[in-house]
Amino acid sequence: METTIRPEELIAEIYRQLHEAQSRGKNPDTVLMSLDQYRLLDWYRNFLGETPEGGAEYLEKYAVFGLEILIEQVESPQVQ
């Protein structure tokens, strides 16, 4: 993945992989990403601020779409 990737693009890629895995009958529970990618998502989460009560929370401190974030040396996120 490019180093100039926008956080929205990173989130979209994770969602694409999650949807693809679920459509194949799999139930992933983690996403591997680099430390830089994690920092980008964390910055974006802080930038967005708190979700109003009752709103869907898809981006948490250590999870995205309910997938636990694990830091690994990978070039692009990998939903597993």
Is residue 30 included in any domain, yes or no?
yes
**39 belongs to a structural domain:** yes
In a domain, 55, yes or no: yes
| Whole-structure pTM value | 0.89
Distance CA(78)–CA(80), nearest Å, equals 6
In a domain, 2, yes or no: no
d(CA 7, CA 77): 12
Domain-located, residue 73: yes
pLDDT string in tens for the chain (80-residue length): 445 899 999 999 999 999 999 999 999 999 999 999 999 999 999 998 877 775 568 999 999 999 999 999 999 999 99
Distance between CA atoms of residues 54 and 24, nearest Å: 30
- Return the pLDDT at 43: 95
pLDDT score recorded for residue 33: 98
Task: Report yes or no on 15 lying in a domain.
Answer: yes
Q: How many domains does the chain have?
A: 1
Q: Tell me the residue range of the domain where 67 lies.
A: 7-79
Question: Is the residue at 1 inside a domain?
Answer: no
